[in-house]
Chain A
Amino acid sequence: MKPPADTIFALSSGALPAGVAVVRLSGPRAFRALEALTQKPLLEARQAALRKIVGRSGLMLDKALVLTFQAPHSFTGEDVVELHLHGSRAVVHAVLGELGEMIGLRQAEAGEFSRRAFENGRLDLIEAEGLAELISAETEMQRRLAVEQSFGGQSALYEGWAQRLTYARAMIEAELDFADEDDVPGSVADKMVQDIRKLQDELGRHLTYARAGEIIRDGYKIAIIGAPNAGKSSLLNALASRDIAIVTEVAGTTRDIIHVDLDLDGYLVKLFDTAGLRDSEDLVEQEGIRRAWMAIEEADLVIHLEEIDSRAERPELPRHKEILWVGSKSDLHQTSLNYDLCLSAKTGEGIPGLRAFIVEKIQGVWAGGSVPTRQRQLDLLKIASNSIRDALNARELEFRAEHLRSAAAALGRITGRVDVEQLLDVIFSQFCIGK
């Protein structure tokens, strides 16, 4: 067997500076590199120890917590070393520099650790994809979704579907291939219809969660629109609790789209503050208006803001959009039933209500279950779902079987192939076949 090419290393934790920075090494030379850096014999695998990290010049670079994992019992399936350094740029760069000078070591490419783990059979494809998400998870909800996917929650769901599909197919194949058998009742395939329909429903529901997956990953997008001077930027600032947009009393100040990422109860929320939607001769402002319309198009929720009782002309908004009509400056006016909600960015009145509303909206699309997050999975699930639908509509059993075979093939590209031997296993365990 050819040894793996080389040993890779990378800063595995987030941006510097930080309290702690984790540098990971994986490959056949990882342990030797650690010995060189610490100038001490190796410690026992999976035991943490405090060690001086020393450069070639003999200078101490840092004192770090070091850990080793011996192949194949590691994340990548290779020998792995973790250095928990102090997270200063200077320290980390010095250590990475030392590693880079060692023979057989090189900086890892993006995703290379996961790929090695996948290639060494430590992760299945779904898990590998989930892990990539975990690494980039910024909020708690993103982390939960990634964990769900990475540690088998989703695998188990798809596996379950694949098994039910296998069973249904086996019953249908039994009726096709063993029609002359006394023990196979002629109606066995019909009995499967209900189960297949149920499967189809579950798949369909799961697919509608796809949008939720995107929301968790990319953030829930809110466009704040309204007449100039309605107080959009003030609202944004109130929600973000810090000054982002330049808020002035001159109408039409916000020419560009200002956006701010919020962490609302663990959900990533992207707020887009738009230019006023009024007609304008000003070229720069026209550009701002064009962008405002784009933001509306992409938003999951549009907040239309208007000063209470200002009776400003309301814009024509896309009908399928969810719109929250909000009256602003409740510190100056009586609250009014013409709005879903009234608030004052200045006093903070109504702001908690708005936050709660947004969180409830997000929870409405996703309550923590499995969600398909990768385009690859999504495409395959759609094929499976369409094939099952076709199967239910098919008039001949052989066509039904054919559509279900396609469905199983698509699902199998996520969970692993189901072949005829598995169908036959089911058939022979259920029916006494053979004269």
Chain B
Amino acid sequence: MTVSYDVIVIGGGHAGCEAASASARMGARTALITHKRETIGVMSCNPAIGGLGKGHLVREVDALDGLMGRVADAAGIQFRMLNRRKGPAVRGPRTQADRKLYRLAMQQAIEDHPNLVVIEGDAHDIMTREGCVSGVAMADGRMFTAPSVVLTTGTFLRGLIHIGTERIPAGRVGEAPSQGLSATLARHGVALGRLKTGTPARLDGSTIDWSVVGRQTADDEAVPFSFMTGRITNPQIECGVTRTTDATHKIIADNIHLSAMYSGQIEGVGPRYCPSIEDKIVRFGERNGHQIFLEPEGLDDTTVYPNGISTSLPAAVQEMFIRTIPGLDKVRIVQPGYAIEYDHVDPRELDMSLELRKLPGLFLAGQINGTTGYEEAAAQGLAAGLNAALKAGGHDDPYHFSRSSSYLGVMLDDLTSRGVTEPYRMFTSRAEYRLSLRVDNADARLTPEGIKLGLVGSARAEHYQAFEEAVTRWRLRLKTLSLTPNEAASHGLRINQDGQRRSAFDLLSYQDVTVASLRSIWGELNDVPKRVAEALDIEGGYAVYLERQESDIAVLRRDESLRIPEDFDYAGLSGLSNELKQKLSQQRPSSLAQAARMEGMTPAASALLLAMLRKQPLDRVMRVS
């Protein structure tokens, strides 16, 4: 007997969990297929969530009522706000996470969805009917039907682990790779590429001499990821900090030919921002030693993740070089580091909703799209799950995230319009509207959208609306309260003596002026709740800049809303160079905004394209709000 669902999600990693949860929150009957129930929510690489750019994605997932922020809050054991001393737009929340707590919290969160079931087994093939997805066939012969399937295979597609010259087909250490689905994708003519990533050895923390390593502590005040988290209750730990030595470098250099990375055994491309220790030595030399963070993997776990020395050297060489590092001279290696190669799909095969153009109904999310990182995976999972549910529910219009309102939009747009040459990671510099896309306003940017879509549950919706109401009320009040430059001066505020009255809100754009500092002038501001005051401080400080960006954003939104039909005939566009025509025909930008960002597009070429789009019959050029 076949069982039917609205949405089936294959994979229980960070992308899969968010996809399944988003789909279930949208009300779709959802199944999550994974090899083993207990590996749901496993962190396969470093035990940390967030960072610069990545922290933004976590906040956005949270604003849309996703899981990652809440789970990280439940598992976080060293919260730190990166760039704390810089402006709010470039701050990035990050935490070390207890692996076990994270996994368990994620499994609990999945279980909490009444319309989400977990199916254990090996998904072998995607079933199709008339060119569209119709369900999933399992290796053991079971069949599940669904109009939408989300594929989140991570590094499992033809995964191949390298340790020195040893090669082990695997998706993760100790877990079998997924072979069948690669064939499925190839059968549908989907372009596949090969990428590589790596991970360091895991160490036994009880064999580390902590007395000789430096310490990195958590922030005094832990700022949670989730809007829904009141306070972090986990005890906070310290990480160790040490460095490689000349002896380390010599061992690595002497044995470089044994590294899978340098023996020519690996064909996949690795990320430049997550180099193996071999790469660091070869490309940057000794640099006075390379820093290593010794990150405990859990509160009651002695395993330590030595962040900074991912490697594919043979296990024996790994032990040799690691023992030359201060504090690690007697260390016991629990599991050697390795490099892993895996298949990924060229993300230009996808549209902005992460649906595969060649196989409608199949959505892809996470590392399969050429990205790296838990946060990037989770955010894609949310977008794919949301759109899979919309499609299963009979909605014709997918939901597209805009570059102007979220990092999620930046990522999806980058991926689908430009593809990847190395694993894609989020950086704040990728967002041209960085000043508008902040960690602090993620809720204001996205929660209302989520409420409209039905993606946000009632608890968050109510909490958010109450908060928003308070912000609005106090913003209005701040705009009403005002003083003259003379009065300001009498309160010690240095302001142009131009006779202009300024509102309390205007004053917030001055350096060092905050709602708190204005309390001495207007006593009633003592009643502004702390979080509301923070939001208004930042908003006031950015007001001038955001006004400037608004017109740019309006232009972008207009161009984004001008969709280019999938079968648009570029060859017939006279006036474009042949090279550009070819590029456009190949990349098929989905909107004028995407086309305009392509290399070689001039303003004149954009104008020409716009003119041609306008000539298309109205029903061909879809305008979406």
Q: Which residues of A contact B (CB under 8 A)?
A: 1-2, 4-5, 119-121, 125, 173, 176-180, 182-183, 395-399, 401-402, 405, 413, 417, 419-420, 423-424, 428, 432-435
Contact = CB atoms under 8 A, between A and B. Distances in A.
21 contacts: A5-B574, A173-B429, A176-B83, A176-B86, A177-B90, A179-B83, A179-B86, A180-B82, A180-B94, A396-B87, A397-B87, A397-B90, A398-B434, A399-B435, A417-B597, A432-B284, A433-B272, A434-B273, A434-B280, A435-B46, A435-B308
Interface in B88-130: 89-90, 94
Nearest to B285: A432
A148 B434 CA distance: 39
A417 B46 CA distance: 36
Contact of B52 (A180, A183, A417, A432): A180
A397 B432 contact: no
A432 B290 contact: yes
Interface of B: 46, 51-53, 82-83, 86-87, 89-90, 94, 271-275, 280, 283-284, 287, 290-293, 307-308, 427-430, 432, 434-435, 511, 545, 571-572, 574-579, 581, 597, 599, 602-604
B578 A176 contact: no
Most chain A CB inside 10 Å of its own CB: which residue of B87, B290, B308, B435: B87
Contacts of B46: 435
Contacts of B272: 424, 428, 433-434
Given A432-B287, A434-B271, A1 B571 contact: yes
A179 B577 contact: no
A435 B280 CA distance: 10
Contacts of A399: 87, 435, 545
B547 to A, nearest CB: 13
Tell me the dominant secondary structure on chain B's binding face: loop
Contacts of B87: 396-399
A423 B429 contact: yes
A1 B577 CA distance: 11
Nearest to A183: B287
Contacts of B599: 417
Given A120-B577, A176-B86, A432-B280, 9 more contacts: A120-B578, A173-B427, A177-B52, A177-B90, A182-B291, A420-B427, A428-B273, A433-B273, A435-B293
In order of increasing CB-CB distance, the 8 nearest A-B pairs are A182-B291, A398-B87, A432-B284, A173-B429, A435-B307, A428-B272, A435-B308, A121-B577
Tell me the dominant secondary structure on chain A's binding face: loop
A395 B511 contact: yes
A410 to B, nearest CB: 12
Nearest to A177: B427
Given A2-B572, A125-B602, A396 B86 contact: yes
Contacts of A182: 290-291
B291 A435 contact: yes
A119 B52 contact: no
A396 B83 CA distance: 12
B275 A402 contact: no
A434 B197 CA distance: 12
B511 A432 contact: no
Given A2-B571, A397-B86, A432-B284, A420 B430 contact: yes
Most chain B CB inside 10 Å of its own CB: which residue of A4, A120, A182: A182
A121 B583 CA distance: 14
Nearest to B598: A417
B428 A177 contact: yes
Contact of A176 (B287, B428, B602): B428
Contacts of A435: 46, 274, 291-293, 307-308
B427 A432 contact: no
B427 A1 contact: no
A405 B578 contact: no
Given A179-B52, A434-B273, A125 B604 contact: yes
B435 A402 contact: yes
A412 B307 CA distance: 38
Contacts of B293: 435
Contact of A1 (B52, B307, B578): B578
A124 to B, nearest CB: 9
Contacts of B308: 434-435
Given A1-B571, A176-B52, A398 B307 contact: no
Contacts of A183: 284, 287, 291
